[in-house]
């Protein structure tokens, strides 16, 4: 074996060290040292709410039918722990490495039906597409399954319930079963997701016969993306997730965004601050909140939306003035047929001159 070659050892499954290089794992200390960006922090806080989590999980897994309810959810530790085995000619040692999911919840619908529903928003996938997401999710889920196997093995060893050598070597009994794990990717950008949706889409399969491709394990991701959501999908949602995802969906066009906000104005007048923070970050509003942040606090978003509307109107006026100036009209003529003050026209004219000067200097 090559000196200093490393593998991730997870229940006799090996993951090459490239996963470290693409940011899929990191040492435990990094979580404490790295501060979350505003977008990341607002998204994680939002998704930790049981009502919003249940809404998104139902949309992803049950076509929007309210199968999972907030009271079915309990939060789990978001850290996944693995060990890197460092092997060289003189020493063998293992180094613990952790990867943190953003949100991790356990769902128990009834005594006979249990699911592990995972909702993950990777730091790099909150507002940008992550092009390694199938591999990322496959690693997350494998880590969880490995942890479940290890937990069973510890309990089985402690209770000495093995009935034969095969069970002893496996760590689990023939009748032991694992809890299913599902990872849901929520993309909060307003553009279409153009990344791979499966492991096969990441592979170079040129020249490989179809019957061989069929034998290569695939791994699909479950994606929720505002851009691809239909209005009937949003209508099935009952929490603030409906308005948050809807606002992001319509934010590509200012006119549509303002129309959507106007339709939901009454709800937005008393909107939970954790949900308002998401719309504020991802729709580029200028929401200013005073006072301490409380769990039950609400904010009136209608004011910041009105400011946004005023900005849109002002941008439209400036565009009209620029077009008129480019066609050779004088400031006085523009004042007459647009109905703005001479000061406004001259200010836009000055801005245009400065832009032209910067353009000339850059050549």
Per-residue model confidence (pLDDT) at position 2: 39
> Which helix (DSSP H) or strand (DSSP E) does residue 117 occupy?
strand 113-120
Q: Reduced to 3 states, what is the DSSP secondary structure of residue 321?
A: helix
pLDDT attached to residue 304:
62
pLDDT at 363: 64
Cβ–Cβ < 8 Å for 276, 287: yes
CA-to-CA separations, 56 to 51, 116, 208, in angstroms, rounded: 9, 14, 38
- Residue 166 has a pLDDT of 92
Q: Is 2 contained in some domain?
A: no
Residue 325 lies in a domain: yes
- Write down the residue that tokens 């601050």 correspond to: 273
Which residues in the chain land under pLDDT 50?
A: 1-34, 82-95, 97, 119-125, 290-292
Residue 157 within a domain: no
Q: What is the pLDDT of residue 13?
A: 37
Does any domain span residue 101? no
Whether residue 346 lies inside any domain: the answer is: yes
Residue length, the chain? 363
Q: What is the pLDDT of residue 84?
A: 39
Strand residues in the chain grouped as ranges (E): 6-10, 13-16, 73-75, 79-87, 92-100, 103-110, 113-120, 181-186, 222-224, 271-272, 298-299
Give the chain's domain count: 1
Examine residue 131 and state whether it is found in any structural domain, yes or no: no
What pLDDT score was predicted for residue 286? 64
Domain range for residue 323? Answer: 319-362
**Confidence (pTM):** 0.71
> Residue 15: what pLDDT?
42
Domain-embedded: residue 287: no
Q: Establish if 177 belongs to a structural domain.
A: no
């Amino acid at each position: 074996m090559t000196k200093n070659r490393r593998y991730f050892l997870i229940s006799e499954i090996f993951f090459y060290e490239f996963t470290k290089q693409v940011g899929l794992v990191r040492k435990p200390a990094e979580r404490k040292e790295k501060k979350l960006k505003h977008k990341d922090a607002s998204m994680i806080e939002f998704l930790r709410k049981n009502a919003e989590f249940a809404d998104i999980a139902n949309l992803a897994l049950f076509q929007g039918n309210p199968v999972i309810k907030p009271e079915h959810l309990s939060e789990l530790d978001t850290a996944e722990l693995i060990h890197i085995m460092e092997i060289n000619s003189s020493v063998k040692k293992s180094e613990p490495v952790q990867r943190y999911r953003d949100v991790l919840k356990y769902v128990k619908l009834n005594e006979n039906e249990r699911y592990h529903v995972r909702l993950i928003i990777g730091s790099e996938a909150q507002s940008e597409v992550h092009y390694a997401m199938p591999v990322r999710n496959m690693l997350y889920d494998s880590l969880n399954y490995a942890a479940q196997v290890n937990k069973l093995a510890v309990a089985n060893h402690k209770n000495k319930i093995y009935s034969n050598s095969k069970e002893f070597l496996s760590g689990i009994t023939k009748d032991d079963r694992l809890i299913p794990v599902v990872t849901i990717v929520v993309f909060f950008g307003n553009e279409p997701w153009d990344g791979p949706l499966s492991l096969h889409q990441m592979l170079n399969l040129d020249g490989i016969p179809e019957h061989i491709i069929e034998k290569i394990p695939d791994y699909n991701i479950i994606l929720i993306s505002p851009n691809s959501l239909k209005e009937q999908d949003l209508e099935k949602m009952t929490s603030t997730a409906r308005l948050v995802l809807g606002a992001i969906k319509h934010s590509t066009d200012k006119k549509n965004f303002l129309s959507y906000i106007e339709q939901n104005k009454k709800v937005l007048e008393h909107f939970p601050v954790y949900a308002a923070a998401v719309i504020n970050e991802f729709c580029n509003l200028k929401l200013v909140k005073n006072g301490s942040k409380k769990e039950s606090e609400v904010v009136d978003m209608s004011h910041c939306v009105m400011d946004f509307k005023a900005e849109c109107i002002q941008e439209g006026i400036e565009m009209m003035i620029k077009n008129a100036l480019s066609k050779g009209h004088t400031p006085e003529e523009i004042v007459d047929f647009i109905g703005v003050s001479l000061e406004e026209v001259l200010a836009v004219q000055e801005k245009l001159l400065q832009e032209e000067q910067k353009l000339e200097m850059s050549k």
